[in-house]
Structure formats: structure tokens, C-alpha cells
A and B are shown apart, each in its own frame.
Chain A
Amino acid sequence: MKFYQKLIKLFMVSIIMMANLSCDNDTDPIIPEPEAPEVVAPATYVFQRSGESTVSYTGQSSRLNMSASLFNKLNDENVSAATLLEMFNEGTGFTAEDGASAEDEAAIEALNGSGKKLGNKTAAYGDASVQPKIAGFLTEYAEDVSPNFVVDAEAGVAGSHTGAGGRTVRINGKGMELNQVFAKSLIGALVMDQAAYGYLSATKIGDDVDNDASGLGAGEYTKMEHHWDEGLGYVYGQEDDITMAATPQGNGVLFNKYLKKVSADGKEEPGLGATIYDAFKLGRAAIVAGDATVRDEQAEIVKTKMSRVILHKAAYYLRGAATAREAASVDYADFFHGLSEGYGFVLSLQFTYDASGTSYFSHAEVAAMLSALEAGNGFWDITSDELNAMAAQIEAKI
């Protein structure tokens, strides 16, 4: 009781003091400008206009599905370069695997009719040499690797190699498994590049972009809203349910798969997935509320945090390859496989985005790393010291 009495006394004293202070103040009272209402993110990524969803990213889902389908084709024996390039550049020619279910067949057919393409969205904002390099992985697979399945791979010779652990890899003469190289390269060159330098950049969500919602009907969206969703679509376009994606299922073969891994408990950065998801959510809410400051803050969070997935995994696969290389008896199939993933993540580094708005590693720096990995007979020659040094270079920026 005593405590409350004291509190009440204190309260009264302060009121009196405050009243005194205001009494002393002779100037006109300053009426603070009403603060813009704080943007509140919804619980999940759900945005509606007159009861209908305004969120749409089907084009991104299609491209992610195309990546997965193309990735699968890079396991096939005797494929033609023309077929692979048609899928990549034209977005047609996709076929289901033998014995695919009717549902899968229909999904693949839908891709062919989607009008979307991977080629023109790959490294679109990057150095001009990168897109041809990635398309080149497809050609090289078709021309050098896929006709050589029956050849025992060795340094300088493309073919198959089965490791003691039972894994079989189909590799080029440098020991590179091109399906891995291709897919991991797209994580940077497609997903990161499109999100960071495309849809979440000033050109697509800056103040000049249309965001006038007046006159929009149910389910209609502004250009800016849509651009933001398209950025999101490159990350979550294959999730079954966007409202659950704070903890991603990891569907697909690109960014989302590794976002799940990196964010899992006990892994590189638990909770990173939720941070990215929340930033997407709040940024979208800010666009609806017309709050440019919050929008831009959240875009920065998305871009810098997404970059961490690539930094983590690039370092992880290089370290893993170094360890595999040092083993008493090296399982070369596992080594080539892991390092091929690492190679793609290293290539992806040039599409990352740091706090200053540039990539963590420049195109030239990445090109130097890739040359080091490819030098001579490539993965057959590289030493664990070189791999560890490269990993350390990346870890220094995490």
C-alpha cells in the first residue's frame, strides 16, 4: 500500500511540475506534425484489395520450375545442345521424365506454354560475359559429357566416375559436374540478380514507379506492389504455401533449397529465413501504406540477408571439398560433386549485395577465383590449401 501511495504522490508531483513548466512557457504551443502511422506487417504474406489477393508471381514460379527441369536434363545421356539451349533461351522443349505421372506431364506442358524464359533473365544485371558462360555449361554438357557416359573420367577426359561411397558423377575434363555448376550458378545469376538488382531496386520500386491504388478493383495491384511480389517469387515461387514460408519448405533446386538449409537450427544462421520473410512482408506492407522509408529499409534487409545464404554456402562447399581432399582415401565422386556446388556458389558471389549496395565480390574477383578452380586440370589438380584459402577469403566477409 505504501508503495502505491508513494507512486501516486510522485505522479501528482510530476503533473504539477509539468503544469508549471507549461505555465512558464510563453511562446505558442508547438503542435507536432501528425506522425505517419507506423507500417504494420501482416502475420503472413497475404495482401488483398477488396477481399481478393493482389499477390502474384506465377512467372517466377515458372522460371524456377524450368530451372529444375533443365537441371534434371543435365543427367541424361546423349542430349543435344540445341535441345538444352531451346529450353534455356526459348522456354520451350521441356519434356517430362520417363514414367512421370499425368500431373507432372501436365506441369511440364504448362511450362512450354508459359511464355517465360530463363536465358534473358540470367545475369541480366551482371557482367555481359556471365550469361554466355552459364549457357556454355549446357552446351559443354551436351557435347562433351553426355556422349561420354561410358568413358572412365580422368584428368582432362570427360566421362563417368563412381566413388567408393557409390556416387556416380558425370564430369567434364576438369572434374566439374555441370548440372551442379549450372544450378548453383543460377542461385546468384537468376534469383539473387533478379531480386537485388531487378525487382527490389529503385528502377522497380523507387518513388517514380506507379503505386497509385486509387481506382483499383478487387485483386488488382499497383506496378510497385507487383514488382515487389516478383522479387519475392524468385525466392518462394515453389513453396506450396506462402503463408508458411517463414520457415521455408525448401522446395526446388535453387535459392529456397539453401535458404532452408542455412536457416535450420544448428546450421550456419538459424532464423535467417524468418528475417528475410519478415522483411518481404513489412516492405510490401510499406508499399501499400505508401511509406518509402520503411520500404527501402526492408528492401536493403532482403538483399543483404539473401546474400548471406550465398556467402555461407560458397564457403561451406569449399571447406567441405578441402576436407574431402585431405581424407586418407579420397572419394573423388563426392569431392567433385561438392566442389561443383561450390563452384556455382562462388560464381554467384558477384550477384550478392552488401550494405553499400555493391556485391561482396566483384565480377573480376569472382572471375579470378573461378580461374583458380579451373586452372590446369581443374578439380583434379586443386589442393586443399587453395580451397581453404578461398573459403577464408569468403568467410572474412560474412
Chain B
Amino acid sequence: MYKKQNPYLYLLIALFISFSCSDPSELDEGLVDNFDRKEILENVTDNIILPAFGDFTEKLSALEESVNLFADIQNSVNLEEVQVRWFEAYKIWQHIEMFNISKAEEVYFINKMNTYPASISKIENNISTNQYDLDANNNNWVAQGFPTLDYLLFGLEDNNTSTLLFYQNNVNAAHLNYLQAVVSQMVSITDIVSQDWNLSRDTFVNSTANSATSSLNMLTNDFIYYFEKGLRTNKFGIPAGVFSANNARMKKVEAYYESSKSKELSLEALKAVKGFFKGEAYNSSVAGASLKSYLNYMTENEILSSAIISKFDESEQLINNLDDNYANQIAMDNSLMINVFNKLQEGVVLLKTDLLSVLSISVDYIDADGD
């Protein structure tokens, strides 16, 4: 583990110095954090969050368009188009999920878009009763968003031929309606969050203090929370059985019904995490102010930031060795999934203990008990 750069150590040293020197004004040297937090906020907002939302919104409307087309004409080309659009949007979603902040948090954006596994019984019950509220009822988080589309597009039947026959059958018109309802809910909630980002951009980047509600504190906490929960736990830990007495839970793989895509989704998520940490603009490697540069400034070296990036890179290497299909990977050799979990956990320690301590940001969430 990386040795902690304890801020109290600096304080202690400073106190020590203050006793030994005659001029008390020297005390402030090196103590005050003069890093311009606004630079990070601007870079992250303007070059990562807003462009990612822009791209995501486009991908979602393309998905919606394809679903509407499929609702009109059920043929194999249109079905495949929906499936392709679904995956394209799901990939970009991996760049969005970590920003569970302000409006997104308020409207349970993340929960509604990507709570998995989806509940087949809840979905089918909603469809057969036609009585459901996707917006206000928490219990419907498992019956909407990408995982529900995964089920509706890949999980109803074993292959596309059968899926197409299913949707062509008038008896199943309610399923088609539900498909449209789910996508339209995804579009509208994304619009709400996306618009809020555009409106609140200035307030957000100007909130530069170091308090529980200031922008960088929330952003950093959300980033680490996502790394720990969204990436480490949900994509690897839970399906690999880390939280269920080592009993693997294949059905809890992200995109279970199209699990040949599960690896690609997790790699995209890791890419988003790395990009955010390094301050790289969305879909580019041009870097600006970031947690990385802030860390380097505070520690006056790159030891910690490099250690963190190494954990990302090592995780990526381990992921690259996995089967594209995590359900298959779990069945073949689950220990490789657990290895990824463990490697990501090493990253969690650096982020949650060392990074937060150096930046003097307090953690705003508590660990679940794990069971």
C-alpha cells in the first residue's frame, strides 16, 4: 500500500517549525491549499460531463427512433437496429453513471437507468396488468432502464428469429408497448438531468470550497463510490459471488441476456474512470486539471497518482484476459473474475484512504455491511 501523506503530519511539522522559528508568518508556507479547484471543475464539466451527456442523449434518441420504427414494422433489420442502438447507448452510459450528483441523485437517475439484474416477474407483471408507474415507484427500478431492455431484446427468446416472431405476434403487443414506454422514460429522465447540467454549469464550477456540499467534494465522493460500488461490486464482486459466500451469481452479470457484451461494458466503465481521474476530455486523450494534477500538486510528486493509475492499468490487463462473456467466464473460471475484484479493491484503498486524506476531503458515504 502507498504510504499515506497525512495532512496532520504537515501540521505537526509546521507546528514544530513554528516553535523553532521567530517569525510566525512563515507558518502559512506550504500549509494552505492554493490549488485552484475551479480548474478541475471547469475541465471536468466542460470537457467530460457535458460532452458525455451530449453524446449519450444522441445515442438515446437514436435508440428511441429505432424502437419506434420497430414498433411500426417488425422485421429482422429493425430488430437488429434496436439491439445495436441499445448497446451503443449502454456503452456511453458507462461514462455517465459515476456522476450521481444533484439532479441525477434527486430523480434517482442511476437507479432507474441501470439497476440490474432486472426482475422478469416485475416486468411481466407490469406488462400483463398494464398498471405501473416507472417514475415514482422505487420498486420499478428493476423493471426499467438498460437491464429491462436487455431482457426485452435478448431474454424473451433464445435467438433473434424467435424474438421477432414473438413481437410479430399480436398477442404480445403489450410487450412492444412496454418496450416503447421504457425507452421513452429513459429519454425523458435523461433530458431532465442533462438540461440541469447545462443550467447549473456555472454554479457548479464556482462552488470551490471544501465542504460536504461543495462541487469537488461531491464529485470526488461520487467518483470513488462509483469505482467501489458501480464498477468493483456490481460488475465483478456480486456476479463472482464475493458477497454471497462465494456462490457465483451469473444472472447478476451486467447485460446478462446479451452477456457477450458484458466485458466491453466494463472496459468502457474503466476507461471512463481513468479518463476522469486524469482529466482527459471525453473521447480524447487531451488532459486538463484533474484529481491527478491536484494530487501531484499536494504531494509534490507523482507517487500516489501513478500508483492509482497503475491499479487502473493492472485491472484493465486482468479484464482483457477475461472471456468477452462474463457469464461464461464465471462458469469456466470464476477465480479470474475475483482477481479483477481484488485488483480494483486495491484501487479503492488508494482512492478512499490515501487520495481523500491528501486532499482533505471527507468521505460522505458509509459502506454497506456487505450482506
Contacts and interface: CB of A to CB of B under 8 A. Distances in A.
A118 to B, nearest CB: 16
Given A101-B248, A251-B245, A149 B141 contact: no
24 contacts: A68-B245, A71-B245, A72-B244, A72-B247, A77-B121, A97-B250, A98-B250, A98-B251, A99-B250, A99-B251, A99-B330, A104-B248, A149-B121, A150-B119, A150-B121, A152-B139, A160-B122, A162-B111, A164-B108, A166-B141, A168-B142, A253-B371, A257-B371, A334-B368
A152 B249 contact: no
Given A152-B137, A162-B138, A162-B142, A101 B111 contact: no
A251 B247 CA distance: 11
Interface in A235-288: 251-253, 257
Given A77-B121, A99-B331, 12 more contacts: A71-B245, A97-B248, A99-B248, A99-B330, A101-B330, A150-B125, A162-B141, A163-B138, A166-B111, A166-B115, A168-B141, A334-B368
Interface in A149-168: 149-150, 152, 160-168
Contacts of A166: 111, 115, 141
B327 interface: yes
Interface string A40-76: 0000000000000000000000000000100110000
B245 A160 contact: no
Contacts of A99: 248, 250-251, 327, 330-331
A71 B371 CA distance: 12
Contact of A101 (B141, B142, B334): B334
B122 A68 contact: no
A251 B122 CA distance: 33
A68 B121 contact: no
A161 B369 CA distance: 19
A289 B246 CA distance: 39
Contacts of B139: 152, 160-162, 168
A100 interface: yes
Interface string B135-170: 001110110000000000000000000000000000
Label chain B's interface by main secondary structure: helix
Contact of A149 (B122, B137, B244, B368): B122
Contacts of B334: 101
A97 B121 contact: no
B243 to A, nearest CB: 11
Interface of A: 68, 71-72, 77, 97-101, 104, 149-150, 152, 160-168, 251-253, 257, 334, 338
A257 B371 CA distance: 10
Contact of B138 (A97, A101, A164): A164
Interface of B: 108, 111, 115, 119, 121-122, 124-125, 137-139, 141-142, 244-251, 327, 330-332, 334, 368-369, 371
A338 B124 CA distance: 30
Nearest to A103: B334
A100 B247 contact: yes
A72 B332 CA distance: 22
Contacts of B248: 97, 99-101, 104
A260 to B, nearest CB: 11
Contacts of A160: 119, 122, 139
Nearest first, the 6 A-B pairs at minimum CB distance are: A99-B250, A150-B125, A162-B138, A68-B245, A150-B121, A152-B139
Nearest to B125: A150
Contacts of A165: 368
B245 A253 contact: yes
Given A77-B121, A149-B121, A150-B125, A252 B245 contact: yes
A58 B111 CA distance: 43
Contacts of B125: 150
Contacts of A164: 108, 138
B305 to A, nearest CB: 28
A165 B330 CA distance: 27
Nearest to A97: B247
Contacts of B108: 164
A26 B371 CA distance: 74
B358 to A, nearest CB: 22
A177 to B, nearest CB: 11
A71 B142 CA distance: 22
A253 to B, nearest CB: 5
A166 B97 CA distance: 14
Most chain A CB within a 10 A radius of its CB, from B139, B141, B334, B368: B139
A360 B267 CA distance: 53
A288 B177 CA distance: 74
Contacts of A162: 111, 115, 138-139, 141-142
Given A99-B331, A101-B330, A162-B142, A149 B119 contact: yes
A253 B368 CA distance: 16
B120 to A, nearest CB: 9
Nearest to B111: A166
Contacts of B124: 150
A239 to B, nearest CB: 13
Contacts of B141: 162, 166, 168
Nearest to A161: B139
Nearest to B108: A164
A338 B139 CA distance: 19
Contacts of A161: 138-139
Nearest to A332: B138
A252 B331 CA distance: 21
B220 to A, nearest CB: 20
A197 B121 CA distance: 45
Most chain A CB within a 10 A radius of its CB, from B124, B247, B330: B247
A150 B122 contact: yes
A101 B331 contact: yes
Contacts of A71: 245
Contacts of B245: 68, 71-72, 251-253
A149 B244 CA distance: 20
Contacts of A257: 371
A110 B137 CA distance: 43
Nearest to B251: A98
A339 B247 CA distance: 24
Most chain A CB within a 10 A radius of its CB, from B115, B125, B245, B246: B245
A71 B125 CA distance: 26
B247 A68 contact: yes
